[in-house]
Homo-oligomer: A and B are copies of this chain.
Amino acid sequence: MNKNMEQFLEHNKKIEMLHSASGLLNWDQNVNMPPDGIKSRSDTLSLLHSISYDMFISEKTQKLLDGLENEFDSLSEPEKAMVIEAKRDYLRTKAVPKETFEKMIKLRVMAQQSWQKARQENDFSIFSGDLKEIVSLTKEVGEIYREKIYPELDNGYEALMSNFEPGMKSERLKEIIAELQPFLTDMLSKIKKGNKPDESLLAGKYPKNIQLELSKFALEKFGYNFKAGRMDLSTHPFTTGYAPGDVRITTRVSEDDFSDCFYSSLHEGGHAIYEQGLPEEYIWTPLHSAASFGIHESQSRLWENNVGRSKQFIEFIHPHLKEYFPGKFNCSTEELYRSINTVKPSMIRTEADEVTYNLHIMLRFEIEIALFEGSITVDELPSVWNQLMEKYLGIKPATDSEGVLQDVHWSWGMFGYFPSYMLGNLYAAQIFSAICEETPETYDNIRDGEFGKLKSWLNKNIHSTGKLYTPDVLIRKTTGKELSTKFFMDYIDKKYSGIYEL
């Protein structure tokens, strides 16, 4: 290996390891930390971030990257991808003045507190002051990104989005929505008149520890490796990949709702199987990472929905459900399948079914665009939110807590992130369709509880390339086609026409 490359990787390894250590401290904070530990924890996390930040924007990084760019043609393909990725990240980090960066960090801490308080007290005004500052600072950062790193993009919002979904343009997203929204709205109105599943089938009390055991059972079947992972509880389920041999998920569990824990676990399991499958040979390099947030989400949604909510999976899991919860699930498998796939517009995105989920995203995308264009103000958010809920979902939140205050993302300054959730659903449908075309027995395997072939396909085609390809290239390579809404619409149409007898 080239001398510069070797030095660069050595340097980069340290930075990645510091991120990884921060990741563990963060996991611990959410899973284990006693309440009085918060002050020291946030101080220590700030320190780790500041050390890795200083290492990364150092002259050393600049010099190594300059050297590598001079020798670019002599590098291998993966090395080229590493340099491109690292350079982009370097420019992005360097572009923002350190004071702005630090201001943002502090603002986030405050905004998360005010957001939580606002949500608890159902009072948007508690949060709006911080949110205004966050919007203004994030706009500033977006503009800096666009000017200095993405001159080809149309606006700062797109530049922010590029952090999450490299190459995605807001025009393309608008096209996607223009195709998807009428379809989903139409679907929803047909479903309202269709043959409703019996939701009450799932009512009852499910012992917490049995729920967790069931989730573990399913995840082991999927191929999540518990020797390189573990499952714990936290308020909001999440996945953290500390290193290839240590990818942890969290879930949550409520006695009243068996499906919350189960499908949260399958969802996080999908993320974790991706992280466990990242290319070991690229460990601690810029390529040991998901292709994008949307692709990451495609993996969680694929296992959660395309697999976990399929009729064949319900056929597989039904007898196990009866075993784990004696006396329960005494319905037909068909009834269970229909009940689990009930469609109903609801207030909360994270609880939405497959049909309404993307409508929640469209609403957020529309709001973010309008905020960044300046056509609405932060103070107008609650009323705009409620209007758009009526427009997209036909329902209106009774409170701001179940409306505009429901997501944590804006308090983090994560604008441009929500579209990744929608893209994840589209990618998942397109990838799953390609898999079924290549391996027509996929659904039969799911019915038999055999997930090995499916996981191997994903490992080989999606996970093992890490961040070697941008999402569009990856999707073209793995499915043979450009990203299209067709696969998702076909999937939804076929599945829900069946369930609701449309």
Q: Which residues of A contact B (CB under 8 A)?
A: 14, 17-18, 20-21, 24-25, 28, 32-41, 43-44, 47-48, 51, 225-230, 242-246, 248, 283
| Given A18-B47, A34-B248, 19 extra CB contacts under 8 A | A14-B47, A17-B44, A20-B40, A24-B25, A28-B28, A34-B230, A34-B245, A34-B246, A35-B227, A35-B245, A36-B225, A36-B244, A38-B245, A40-B243, A40-B244, A40-B245, A40-B283, A41-B243, A51-B51
- In the assembled complex, the CB of A213 is this many whole angstroms from the nearest CB of chain B, namely 16
Residues A37 and B226 in contact, CB atoms below 8 Å apart: no
- Residues of B contacting A229 in the complex (Cβ-Cβ under 8 angstroms): 34
Given A18-B47, A43-B17, are A36 and B245 neighbors across the interface (CB < 8 Å)? yes
Q: Tell me whether A34 and B226 are in contact in the complex, defined as CB-CB below 8 angstroms, given that A17-B44, A24-B25, A25-B21 are known contacts.
A: yes
Residues of B within 8 A of A43 (CB): 17
23 contacts between A and B (CB under 8 A): A14-B47, A17-B43, A17-B44, A17-B47, A18-B47, A20-B40, A20-B44, A32-B32, A34-B227, A34-B229, A34-B245, A34-B248, A35-B245, A36-B225, A36-B246, A37-B228, A37-B243, A39-B245, A40-B244, A40-B246, A41-B246, A44-B243, A51-B51
CB distance from A281 to the nearest CB of B (A): 14
Q: Write out the residue numbers on chain B whose beta carbons fall within 8 Å of the beta carbon of A35.
A: 227-228, 245
Whole-angstrom distance from the CB of A394 to the nearest CB of chain B?
A: 45
Most chain B CB within a 10 A radius of its CB, from A14, A21, A33, A226: A21
The 6 lowest CB-CB distance pairs between A and B, nearest first, are A40-B243, A37-B246, A36-B245, A36-B228, A37-B245, A17-B44
User: Given the complex, which residues of B lie within 8 Å of A37, measured CB to CB?
Assistant: 228, 242-243, 245-246
Across the interface, name the chain B residue whose C-beta is closest to A43.
Answer: B17
- What number of copies of this chain does the assembly contain? 2
Distance between A421 CB and nearest chain B CB, rounded to angstroms: 28
Q: Which residues of B contact A14 (CB under 8 A)?
A: 47
Q: Are A21 and B20 in contact (CB under 8 A)?
A: no
* Contact A227:B47 (CB < 8 A) given known A24-B25, A28-B24: no
CB distance from A457 to the nearest CB of B (A): 23
Contacts of A225 in B (CB 8 A): 36
Q: How far is the CB of A25 from chain B (nearest CB, A)?
A: 6
Tell me the smallest distance from the CB of A478 to a CB of chain B, in Å: 27
- A246: chain B residues at CB < 8 Å are 33-34, 36-37, 40-41
Chain B residue nearest to A283 in the complex (CB): B40
Give every chain B residue within 8 A of A24 (Cβ-Cβ): 24-25, 28
A18 smallest CB distance to B (angstroms): 7
B contact residues around A242 at 8 Å (CB):
37, 40
B residues less than 8 Å from A25 (CB atoms): 21, 24
CB distance from A289 to the nearest CB of B (A): 15
Q: From residue A354, how far is it (CB to closest CB) to chain B in Å?
A: 32
Instruction: Give the docked Cα–Cα distance between A243 and B28 (Å).
Output: 14
Q: A228 → chain B, closest Cβ, in Å?
A: 4
Q: With the chains together, A44 CA to B332 CA distance in Å?
A: 52
**Chain B contacts for A36, CB-based, 8 A:** 225, 227-228, 244-246
A118 to chain B, nearest CB (A): 26
Closest to A39 in B: B245
Q: Using Cβ atoms and an 8 Å threshold, which residues of chain B touch A21?
A: 21, 25, 44, 48
Contact between B34 and A228 (Cβ–Cβ < 8 Å)? yes
Bound complex: CA of A162 vs CA of B178, how far in Å?
74
Smallest CB-CB separation from A37: which chain B residue? B246
Cα-based distance from A216 to B230 in the complex (angstroms): 25
Q: Can you name the residue of chain B whose Cβ is closest to the Cβ of A18?
A: B47
| Cα–Cα, bound, A24→B34 (Å) | 13
A20, A34, A47 — most chain B CB neighbours (10 Å)? A34
Q: CA–CA, A21 to B25, complex, Å?
A: 8
How far, in Å, is A35 (CB) from chain B's closest CB?
A: 5
Q: CB-nearest residue of chain B relative to A230?
A: B34
With the chains together, A153 CA to B43 CA distance in Å? 40
- A44–B18 alpha-carbon span in the complex (Å): 8
Distance to closest chain B CB from A51 (angstroms):
7
Question: Which residue of chain B is the closest to A22 with respect to CB atoms?
Answer: B21
Give the chain B neighbours of A244 by CB distance below 8 A.
36, 40
Shortest Cβ gap from A434 to chain B (Å): 30
Q: Note all chain B residues with C-beta closer than 8 A to A47.
A: 14, 17-18
